[in-house]
Amino acid sequence: MSSLRTVSLLLVTVFGILHCFSGAIAYSAQEPHLPQSLSGVPQSIVSLITRFWDIFGPGGKFHPTAFIESKGHLVLEGLLVLVILYLFLQKSFNPSFQKQLQTELTEQASTHLTFTNPPTTYIVANGKKVLNMVSANFLGLAGDKAIERTLPDPNPKLHPWIQEACAATINKYGVGSCGPRGFYGTIDVHLHLEEHLAKFMQTQETIIYAYDLATVPSILPAFANAKDIIICDEAACFAIQNGAVLSRAQVKYFRHNDVADLERILAEQAAKDKRSKLRLNRRFIVVEGISQNLGDIAPLDQIFKLKEKFKYRLVLDESLSFGVLGATGRGAAEHFGLMPGQVEIVAASMGNSLASIGGFCAGDRDIVDHQRLSGLGYCFSASLPPYLATGAICALQRMQEQPELVLRVAQNARRMRELLHHIAGLSVHGGPNDDVSPLIHVQLEQPLETIWQGKALLQQVVNDAYQKEGVLFTVHRLSDLDKAYSKTPASICVAVTAQHSQADMQKAADALQKACSRCFSAK
């Protein structure tokens, strides 16, 4: 109905404009004192429009007066009656469909899990205590209760738990900042957090954003525009995709972690630039340390060599690798032996290893200062609630004082991958170089005809493991807007943390094995 209404309105509008225009032309043609009004109009067009006016204008065959006298209105009225009957017979409301939809919504709502405790090793989901293999709480700092920290304050006070440090910040500042950083939204704990992060990352400065998903989409448009080039991994997360689109730059994608394909694209672009002889523009290679969609590690050492060879800037998203890779947890750059500053722009989420909210960007002073004026998420969003900045500072201090947490994550990741490799019917994505990644994507050994069928089968496995074995897994899901939506294989995500024991990991692997046996045999 809406489309029919739109077409009708469009036809009436066009006819009205044409009617008025033709009347003006016809009048001008009949008035000898107005020849200048037609000086720029071709004679053929004038003749055509004059003819149109003779038919639809006063005295014409289809003018309302002549049309009514010839009973032509009866035909039009008959057509309108048919249209009304057609619309009347259309069922805009289908009670059975509404009932079915409500049933589906109820069933969908009943599958959602509600947690009543922090995302620790064991969580209570819908009243049932289960082993947690889904939370990216890699260092186990979310819900931590065994830490004594100093609240970042000119007058320091001792707080035994991260939660107590956050509570003290709430008592002092309230729960929110109520404004962007540049408009009365900057609190001293924001500056303290940026100082701590810059010192830890060994960069000149850092800048924090209130929302991790807005961090990269704020960084890329701040530095790239329609004249520039961005080259991304085709399996990049949605935040990178969104940032590339918002920048309006020319975007090219290379095959996931395929250095040869990246070099091919860089060489082709270099040859194209040499032929066109256009002025220099800004060029970026954008990758993730650990892929959110596949869980493997980017070959950053090889990508860095290509970046240097072809004179590109490197933007590295360390959201999943920060706190996990490298001897001290600085991420993939440290993992591959790159020195601080060799990667121009480093971004990361604080919602994983730091068990807080928001994101940050680390780099040279010019990189950071430019974002304070051009980073949309920094300029126009309310700043990070102060107590979350306090929580991130405490978690960062804990990570620095206990580097064994980072080592334990790597050890647990290796062990979990070994256990998952022995499950019949499943295959673990990644190679030997990815064994320290704590985000493990487990795919079907024999993919089904469509990705959606594979996801449906794996969802049955996940449901079975939760209901019968008391272990919580999740099927990897993507937004419909994600470019990788139809390309990323169906997989189960397994998140390993420093808090998982050997018995926990064995239990998780056994539960997945039993669930697969039951679901695959019933297929």
List the domain boundaries for the chain. 2-89, 179-384, 404-521
Residues 347 and 216: beta-carbon distance below 8 Å:
yes
CA distance 212 to 243: 12
Give percent of the chain above pLDDT 70.
78
CA pair distance 320, 292, nearest whole angstrom: 7
| Residue 19: CB atoms within 10 Å | 14
Report the pLDDT value the prediction gives residue 149, as an integer from 0 to 100. Answer: 39
**What is d(CA 123, CA 308) in angstroms, rounded to the nearest whole number?**
46
- Distance, CA of 64 to CA of 57 (rounded, Å): 9
Check pLDDT > 50 for residue 506. yes
Tell me the backbone φ, ψ of residue 374, rounded to 5 degrees.
-120, -10
> Cβ neighbours of residue 484 under 8 Å, at least 6 residues apart?
234, 235, 236, 293, 478
pLDDT given for residue 162 in this prediction: 79
| CATH classification number, 404-521, choose in 3.40.640.10, 3.60.110.10, 3.90.1150.10, 3.40.47.10 | 3.90.1150.10
CATH value of 179-384 in 3.40.50.720, 3.30.70.580, 3.30.365.10, 3.40.640.10: 3.40.640.10
- Choice between 159 and 165, residue whose per-residue pLDDT is larger: 165
Q: What is the pLDDT of residue 33?
A: 44
What pTM value is reported for the model? 0.77
Could you give the C-alpha distances from 104 to 97, 99, 261, in angstroms and in order? 11, 9, 44
Strand ranges in 311-376 using DSSP code E only, listed in sequence order: 313-317, 345-349, 359-363
State the average pLDDT over residues 312-336: 97
pLDDT computed for residue 32 by the predictor: 46
* Structure-block tokens of residue 91: 């069922």
Phi, psi of 132 (to 5 degrees): -90, 110
What the block records as the tokens of 308 is: 């240097």
Which DSSP helix (H) or strand (E) runs through 103?
helix 95-111
- Range scoring the smallest mean pLDDT among 5-19, 334-348, 387-401: 5-19
pLDDT class for 64, splitting at 50, 70, 90? low
Note the pLDDT of residue 68.
60
* pLDDT value at residue 346: 98
The span from the CA of 294 to the CA of 443, in Å, is 10
Q: Using 50, 70 and 90 to split pLDDT, how confident is the model at 12?
A: low
Which residue has tokens 């009436």?
12
Chain centroid, CA 305 distance in Å: 28
Q: Which residue has the higher pLDDT, 139 or 484?
A: 139
So what's the pLDDT on residue 56? Answer: 59
Query: What are 285-302's pLDDT values in tens digits?
Result: 999 999 999 999 999 999
Distance (Å, whole) CA 402 – CA 448: 44
Kindly indicate the confidence band of residue 78, based on its pLDDT and cuts at 50, 70 and 90.
confident
Residues 291 and 326 sit within 8 Å (Cβ to Cβ): no
Q: Is the pLDDT score of 82 beyond 90? A: no
Lowest mean pLDDT among 33-47, 235-249, 305-319, 483-497: 33-47
Contacts of 90 (CB under 8 A, 6+ apart): 1
Confidence of residue 8 (pLDDT cuts 50, 70, 90): low
| Residue (of 442, 430, 434) closest to 511 by Cα position | 442
> Does the structure show a pLDDT above 60 at 508?
yes
Task: Calculate mean pLDDT across residues 33-58.
Answer: 61
Q: Which of 24-33, 100-109, 342-351, 427-436 has the lowest mean pLDDT?
A: 24-33
Mean model confidence pLDDT for the chain: 85
Q: Which residues contact 115 (CB under 8 A, 6 or more apart)?
A: 123, 124, 125
Which pLDDT does position 89 carry in this prediction?
76
pLDDT of residue 118: 81
What is the band of 418 on the pLDDT scale with cuts at 50, 70, 90? very high
Give the amino acid at 469.
Answer: E
Cα separations (Å) of 219 from 194, 358, 363, 369? 16, 14, 12, 12
pLDDT value at residue 263? 98
- Residue 292 confidence (pLDDT): 95
Per-residue confidence (pLDDT) for residue 190, from 0 to 100: 96
- Give residue-wise pLDDT tens across range 216-239: 999 999 999 999 999 999 999 999
CA–CA separation, 230 and 433 (whole Å): 26
Average pLDDT rounded to a whole number, residues 308-315: 96
